[in-house]
Amino acid sequence: MDQATKRELLDKDRQRVWHPFTQMKDYARQDHLLIEKAEGIFLYDADGNRYYDTVSSWWVNVHGHGHPRIKQAIIRQLEETDHIMFSGFTHRPGIELADKLLAIAPPGLGKTFYSDNGSTAVEVALKMSFQYWRHVGRPSKTKFAYLANSYHGDTLGAVSVGGVDLFHATFRPLLFDGYRLPSPLVGEWSGGRPTPEAAETSVAKALEAVKQLFETSAGEIAGLIVEPMIQAAGGMLMHPAAYIAGLRELCSRYDVHLIADEVAVGFGRTGTMFACEHAHVTPDLLCLSKGLTAGMMPLAATLCTDAIYEAFYDDYETQKTFFHGHSFTGNPLACAVALESLRIFEEEGVLDNVRAASDALRGHLPGLETFRHVANMRHLGLVAAFDLYADAASQTPYPPSERRGYQVYLEALKEGLILRPLGDTIYYWLPHCTTVAQLEDIVSRTSSVLERLGYR
């Protein structure tokens, strides 16, 4: 791209675009990075600089950018139908994807309801759960339980079950009330990586809080929502699978829907196709998006049990219809892409590569742990994270005004690396196509950045 065009575009960007989750004043004196090519794990800016997309473009990309089979799937679908409405009408990609998702999801889920993004997948789950209890004669079950540090999206229903005050506290007067449960393991890390015994104690404590809540209040709780295995936007906080297994057991015992929000963690990112598999658990409602289309375009799905579906299935006059829908529900292009992505998973041994990359990643992390200001290294599948501390031993944080994570982000860009932080937490959220050699390079570049910024 010539420099005049580049300058013109970036000026227009500053003048016309309000970017998401961004304090725009951060870009008063620096430009957004103008990307003009994307291939595999790499993004290329308008000056030809190359960047490792170590966050999979906000956790969505799966098989790398520009995968030829994904592109071909779109072109093929364009020759059949573009978008057609999905109420009264149906189409092959929408049907086949629904069927395929239920075939690979944890056993016991029966129906697929489409929407457009993670927030709407969660809103659908909340509304289904809420309405279900009305239909089965338990209308007092109207509230939801959720975890501290959870993030489930930015529409106001999803915000109501969010536990990250930075994102959500402002909107309090617009939110419905719920029960906030403690996040497992948080605050239990003091002094470094938790021992197996400490982890077990933490899980027991967190589950005890759930049990106590259900004991007194299950009669008014419709569902409990959780991000299985990793609370992602809340700081890449990981918990043992035993916590999810425990939630399943308690939800079943006390008649509360278990809603698994796998928008971020689904589709192989944790090493298994779905994160619930680590705990051998089937939720009552499963929310999917992001990786569903291999990161190509918006699509979401909420999978539910037949028991939930059947509570809505009745003569029209009984007014049990689930009145929810979005214009582009079941978009055929997006469904065709998602189907092709699942075929790639099967035919190209994607989960095998995830496991190999995950093992290699694990091998490299101790090198990063040698940095004096790095603590709480955690890792699952293609996700790894650590926190920066002024003093790691006592876990004394840096003053927030220093924005250490953000400084790492800026410095990493110079190193050809996208290390998008969450506060002072630095993480990788790698695409499934990452090779062992790329991993080595990524970790080595991360070391250089930390070295230069004086974290040794």
Contacting a second copy within 285-324 (CB under 8 A): 289-290, 295-299, 304, 309, 312-317, 320-324
Tokens 């004086």 correspond to what residue?
Answer: 454
Stretch that binds a second copy, among 33-41, 195-203, 357-365, 385-393 (CB under 8 A): 33-41
Would the annotation count 315 as a binding residue? Answer: no
Complex with a second copy: residue 48 or 366, whichever CB lies closer = 48
| Backbone phi, psi, residue 237, to 5° | -90, 120
| Backbone phi, psi, residue 143, to 5° | -110, 165
| Backbone phi, psi, residue 188, to 5° | -100, 5
Give least dist CB 30 to a second copy, A: 10
Complex with a second copy: residue 118 or 194, whichever CB lies closer = 118
The footprint of a second copy on residues 111-140 (CB under 8 A) is 111-114, 116-120, 123, 126-127, 130-131, 134
Using rule CB under 8 A, residue 387 touches a second copy: no
Give least dist CB 390 to a second copy, A: 18
Tokens for 414, please give them.
């110079």
User: Which positions from 414 to 443 touch a second copy by CB under 8 A, shown as an x/- string?
Assistant: ----x-x-----------------------
Q: How far, in Å, are 55, 64, 435 from residue 418 at the CA level?
A: 7, 15, 17
Give least dist CB 320 to a second copy, A: 7
Complex with a second copy: residue 364 or 404, whichever CB lies closer = 404
The footprint of a second copy on residues 54-83 (CB under 8 A) is 55, 57-61, 65-66, 70-71, 74-75, 78, 80-83
Question: Is 161:192 a contact under the CB 8 Å cutoff?
Answer: no
Tokens for 169, please give them.
């506290």
3-state secondary structure at position 228: coil
Using rule CB under 8 A, residue 333 touches a second copy: yes
Rule CB under 8 A: choose which of 176, 179, 254, 398 binds a second copy.
Answer: 176
Using rule CB under 8 A, residue 108 touches a second copy: no
Using rule CB under 8 A, residue 34 touches a second copy: yes
Q: Which region, left, alpha or beta, applies to residue 157 given φ > 0 means left and ψ of -120 to 50 means alpha? A: alpha
Would the annotation count 327 as a binding residue? Answer: yes
Rule CB under 8 A: choose which of 88, 107, 137, 366 binds a second copy.
Answer: 88
Using rule CB under 8 A, residue 248 touches a second copy: no
User: Using a CB cutoff of 8 Å and minimum separation of 24, what contacts does 128-134 make?
Assistant: 128/285, 128/302, 128/304, 128/308, 128/312, 128/322, 129/222, 129/223, 129/257, 129/259, 129/284, 129/285, 129/308, 130/222, 130/223, 131/312, 131/322, 132/222, 132/257, 132/308, 132/311, 132/312, 133/222
Would the annotation count 290 as a binding residue? Answer: yes
The residues, any chain, with a CB within 8 Å of residue 273's CB and separated by 6 or more, are 104, 266, 267, 345, 351
Tokens for 192, please give them.
């470094």
Binding residues: 58, 118-119, 151, 261, 290, 325-327, 420
Binding residues for pyridoxal 5'-phosphate: 118-119, 261, 326-327
